[in-house]
């Protein structure tokens, strides 16, 4: 985590807690010539545009006070969307029974990407039920081998 995202997380989390919201992720990225600071927030039944606006205002005020970013940037506050990233252990626990997409740092059973139903998460490994053609198969992925994970929307 970069210094900027760490500082922003420390100032945003108390604001979000007060509003009953959760910080899902923070991005601080350069796109073209512009810098973007993106906060992804959520709560159990999702967030609306009004809540994003309130958070944006309050976080912006704190950022103006502390001034941790030396150059111009755009602050964006939004929902993580339907394909919410799974970053923390509690994200995995809350997603048991849901369809997820997982990428690994190294191959597991000759594969580095998996999509299926998250069956179990015990802090040590992620257990998925995946489809291989017409068969269902259980894959166990060590948690420390997970490079990224997110909810996966299924159609049909």
pLDDT digits (tens, 9 = 90+) for 61-90: 999 998 888 889 999 999 998 888 998 898
Give dist(CA 84, CA 147) in Å, integer. Answer: 15
Domain residue ranges in the chain: 3-78, 89-151
Q: Right CATH number for 89-151 from 2.40.30.260, 3.30.9.10, 2.60.40.60, 2.30.30.180?
A: 2.30.30.180
Residues lower than pLDDT 50 in the chain: none
Please determine whether the domains at 3-78 and 89-151 fall in the same fold group of CATH.
no
CA gap 98, 118 in Å, rounded = 6
CATH of domain 3-78: 3.30.300.70
Strands 34-42 and 74-78: parallel
What is the pLDDT, as a whole number, of residue 1? 53
Residue with tokens 């030396």: 70
pLDDT recorded at residue 67: 87
pTM for this one?
A: 0.79
The pLDDT of residue 127 is: 96
Strand (E) or helix (H) holding 111: strand 111-121
Q: Are 128 and 117 in contact (CB under 8 A)?
A: yes
Residue 143 is predicted with a pLDDT of: 95
């Amino acid at each position: 985590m970069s210094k900027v995202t760490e500082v922003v997380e420390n100032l945003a989390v108390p604001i979000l807690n007060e509003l009953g919201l959760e910080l899902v992720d923070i991005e601080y990225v350069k796109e073209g010539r512009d810098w973007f600071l993106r906060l992804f927030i959520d709560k159990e039944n999702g967030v609306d545009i009004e809540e994003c606006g309130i958070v944006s205002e309050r976080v912006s005020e704190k950022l103006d006070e502390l001034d941790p970013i030396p150059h111009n940037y755009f602050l964006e506050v939004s929902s993580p969307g339907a394909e919410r990233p799974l970053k923390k252990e509690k994200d995995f626990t809350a997603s048991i029974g849901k369809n997820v997409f997982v990428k690994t740092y190294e191959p597991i059973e000759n594969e580095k990407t998996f999509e299926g139903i998250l069956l179990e998460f015990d802090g040590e490994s992620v257990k998925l039920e995946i489809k291989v053609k017409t068969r269902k198969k259980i894959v166990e992925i060590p948690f420390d081998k997970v490079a990224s994970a997110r909810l996966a929307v299924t159609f049909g």
